[in-house]
C-alpha cells in the first residue's frame, strides 16, 4: 500500500496559520487534480458520496490522492451506461452534502458529487466551510448561511470590487466564479457537468501552466 504523508487539510490550515494563504492558481492546481480523480471514479461507474477536504491526501511530489470510499456506491450500469439514482439519503458529511441529499427523494449521485466538489473549492479558497448545517435530515435548508446563499444566487447584480461586497460567489476570483457557481446550482438538473468543469477556460489555463 502506498504511503501518502500529507492530509490536504493540514497543509491548507498550516499555511493559513503561517499567513501564507494559497493563491487562486495554487488552489486551481489542487482542484484540477481532485476533479480529475472524481471524473475517473465516475467514468468507472462509482460515486464517492463523501467528498470533502478531509478525504484528500497529497504526496511528496504534489500529487493529490482521493481516499475513503466507505460511502461510495455504483452510479452507472456499466453494461448499458445508464445512470443509477439513489434512494439512500443522508449519505456523506452534512457540510459538503448537496441539497437533494438532505431531502427524501431519489437523486443523481454524480451530480451530488459535483456540489461537494464546489464546497471543497470554497473551503480551499475561503479557509472555512461556507455553512455548517445541523446533522439532521433537511438540516441544510434550515441553515441561515445556506439560505442567504440561495437568496444571493437569485441576485443578478454584477459583483462589485471592494470590501463592501460580501456575497459568497463574489469573493471568488472571476475566472473561477462562473464555474463554481454552475456547480452550486441548487437544482441538480441545472448543475454543470464534471467534464464542463475540467474543460473550462479557468482549469485549462491552470493545467497548461504546469504541464
d(CA 77, CA 64): 28
Question: For 164, what's the count of Cα atoms within 13 Å in the CB-facing half-sphere?
Answer: 1
d(CA 38, CA 54): 15
Active site residue 15: no
Q: Which residue among the candidates 50, 113, 155, 166 is catalytic per the annotation?
A: 50
Does residue 96 contact residue 119 with C-beta atoms inside 8 Å? yes
Residues 6+ apart with CB under 8 A from 88: 73
Residues 6+ apart with CB under 8 A from 30: 8, 58, 64, 124
Residue 7 backbone phi and psi in degrees, to 5: -65, 130
Helix/strand/coil percent split, the chain, to 5: 45, 10, 45
Does residue 12 contact residue 23 with C-beta atoms inside 8 Å? no
Quote the DSSP letter at residue 83. B
Does residue 59 contact residue 6 with C-beta atoms inside 8 Å? yes
Write out the catalytic residue numbers: 50
Amino acid at each position: 500500500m502506498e504511503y501518502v504523508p500529507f492530509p490536504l487539510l493540514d497543509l491548507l490550515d498550516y499555511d493559513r496559520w503561517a499567513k501564507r494563504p494559497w493563491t487562486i492558481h495554487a488552489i486551481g492546481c489542487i482542484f484540477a487534480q481532485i476533479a480529475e480523480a472524481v471524473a475517473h471514479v465516475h467514468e468507472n461507474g462509482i460515486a464517492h458520496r463523501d467528498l470533502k477536504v478531509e478525504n484528500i491526501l497529497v504526496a511528496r511530489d504534489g500529487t493529490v490522492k482521493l481516499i475513503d470510499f466507505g460511502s461510495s456506491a455504483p452510479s452507472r450500469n456499466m453494461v448499458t451506461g445508464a445512470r443509477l439514482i439513489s434512494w439512500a439519503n443522508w449519505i456523506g458529511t452534512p457540510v459538503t452534502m448537496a441539497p437533494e441529499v438532505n431531502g427524501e427523494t431519489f437523486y443523481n449521485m454524480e451530480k451530488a458529487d459535483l456540489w461537494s466538489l464546489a464546497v471543497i473549492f470554497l473551503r480551499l479558497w475561503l479557509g472555512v466551510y461556507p455553512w455548517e448545517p445541523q446533522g439532521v435530515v433537511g438540516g441544510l435548508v434550515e441553515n441561515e448561511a445556506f439560505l442567504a446563499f440561495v437568496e444571493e444566487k437569485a441576485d443578478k447584480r454584477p459583483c462589485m470590487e471592494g470590501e463592501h461586497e460580501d456575497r459568497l460567489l463574489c469573493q471568488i476570483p472571476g475566472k473561477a466564479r462562473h464555474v463554481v457557481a454552475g456547480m452550486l446550482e441548487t437544482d441538480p438538473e441545472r448543475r454543470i457537468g464534471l467534464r464542463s468543469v475540467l474543460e473550462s477556460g479557468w482549469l485549462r489555463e491552470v493545467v497548461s501552466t504546469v504541464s
